[in-house]
Structure 1
Amino acid sequence: MDQRFSRQLALTHFGETAQKNLARSRVLVIGAGGVGSTVIPSLAAAGVGTVGVIDDDRIELSNLHRQHIHRLLDVGQKKVISAVERVAEVSPATTVIAIDAKLTPENALEIFADYDLVVDGSDNFPTHYLAADAAEIVGIPLVWGWACEFLAEASISWPARGAGFRDLYPSPPPLSEVDTNVMHGIFPGAVLVIASIVTSEAIKVAAQVGDPLLNKVTRFNAFTNEFCVDEYERQTDAPAITELSDYRHLCGYTPADEWPTG
Structure 2
Amino acid sequence: MNQERYTRQTILKGFGHEGQRKLAKARVLVIGAGGLGVPVLTYLNAMGVGKIGIVDQDVVSITNLHRQVLYGEGDVGKSKVTVALNKLKAQNPENELLVYHTFLTPKNALEIIADYDVVVDTSDNFPTRYLVNDACVILKKPFVYGALHGYEGQVSVFNFEGGPTYRCLFPMMPKENEVPNCNEHGVLGIIPGIIGNLQALEAIKVITGVGEVLSAKLLIFDGLHQSYQKIKFKLQPANLDIKKLQDFYEWNDPCEIVPIVAAEEIQKLLAEDAQIVDVRTRAEFENYHLPDSLHIPLDELEANVTKINFLIPVYLLCQSGQRSETALRQLQKKYPESSLFSILGGLNQYLATCS
How would you bin the TM-score normalised by the shorter chain?
Answer: over 0.9
Q: Is the 8 A contact 2:176 2:251 kept in 1?
A: no
CA RMSD of aligned residues (A): 2.1
Within 5 A, what are the aligned runs for 1:124-203?
124-158=125-159, 160-203=161-204
Query: 2:3 maps to what in 1?
Result: 2
The alignment's TM-score, normalised by the length of structure 2, stands at 0.70
Q: Is the 8 A contact 1:248 1:259 kept in 2?
A: no
Q: Is the 8 A contact 1:30 1:120 kept in 2?
A: yes
Q: CA deviation at 1:168?
A: 0.6
In 2: Cα distance, 1:255 partner to 1:226 partner: 45
Q: Is the 8 A contact 2:160 2:215 kept in 1?
A: no
Instruction: Work out whether 1:23 is the aligned partner of 2:24.
Output: yes
In 2: Cα distance, 1:253 partner to 1:89 partner: 46
Q: CA deviation at 1:219?
A: 0.6
Query: Given residue 227 of structure 2, which amino acid in structure 1 is its aligned partner?
Result: E
Q: CA deviation at 1:237?
A: 4.1
What's the secondary structure of 1:154's corresponding residue? strand
In 2: Cα distance, 1:203 partner to 1:190 partner: 20
What's the secondary structure of 2:124's corresponding residue? coil
Query: 1:77 maps to what in 2?
Result: 78
Query: 2:48 maps to what in 1?
Result: 47
What's the secondary structure of 2:97's corresponding residue? strand
168-177 or 80-89: which moved more?
Answer: 168-177
Query: 2:39 maps to what in 1?
Result: 38
Q: CA deviation at 1:226?
A: 2.1
Q: CA deviation at 1:224?
A: 2.6
What's the secondary structure of 1:34's corresponding residue? coil
Specify every segment of 5 or more residues in structure 2 that has no aligned partner in the other structure, as ranges: 261-319, 323-344, 349-355
Query: Given residue 212 of structure 2, which amino acid in structure 1 is its aligned partner?
Result: D
Runs of 4 or more above 6 Å deviation = 250-253
Which of 246, 249, 255 in structure 2 is aligned with 1:247? Answer: 249
Query: 1:98 maps to what in 2?
Result: 99
In 1: Cα distance, 2:122 partner to 2:242 partner: 22
Q: CA deviation at 1:84?
A: 0.5
Structure showing greater Rg: 2
Q: Is the 8 A contact 2:165 2:239 kept in 1?
A: no
Q: Is the 8 A contact 1:126 1:250 kept in 2?
A: no
In 2: Cα distance, 1:255 partner to 1:235 partner: 34
Which structure exhibits the higher relative contact order, with contacts defined as CA atoms closer than 8 Å and separated by 6 or more residues?
1
Q: CA deviation at 1:158?
A: 1.1
In 2: Cα distance, 1:140 partner to 1:82 partner: 28
In 1: Cα distance, 2:250 partner to 2:152 partner: 24
Q: CA deviation at 1:255?
A: 4.5
In 1: Cα distance, 2:226 partner to 2:15 partner: 30
| Cα distance, 1:38–1:251 mapped onto 2, change above 3 Å | farther
Q: Is the 8 A contact 1:87 1:94 kept in 2?
A: no
Q: CA deviation at 1:249?
A: 4.6
Query: 1:222 maps to what in 2?
Result: 223
243-252 or 97-106: which moved more?
Answer: 243-252
Q: CA deviation at 1:225?
A: 2.2
The Cα offsets for residues 100-143 of structure 1, whole Å up to 9 and x where unpaired, read as 00100000000011111110000000000001111111111100
| Cα distance, 1:259–1:206 mapped onto 2, change above 3 Å | farther
Query: 1:115 maps to what in 2?
Result: 116
The percent of aligned pairs where both chains have the same amino acid is 36
In 2: Cα distance, 1:46 partner to 1:251 partner: 43
Instruction: Work out whether 1:213 is the aligned partner of 2:214.
Output: yes
Q: CA deviation at 1:223?
A: 2.4
What's the secondary structure of 1:105's corresponding residue? coil
| Cα distance, 1:35–1:255 mapped onto 2, change above 3 Å | farther
Q: CA deviation at 1:230?
A: 0.7
36-45 or 177-186: which moved more?
Answer: 177-186
In 2: Cα distance, 1:255 partner to 1:216 partner: 39
What's the secondary structure of 1:210's corresponding residue? coil
Q: CA deviation at 1:172?
A: 2.0
Count matched residues: 262
Query: Given residue 92 of structure 2, which amino acid in structure 1 is its aligned partner?
Result: S
Q: CA deviation at 1:220?
A: 1.0
Q: Is the 8 A contact 1:175 1:252 kept in 2?
A: no
In 1: Cα distance, 2:47 partner to 2:152 partner: 27
What's the secondary structure of 2:30's corresponding residue? strand
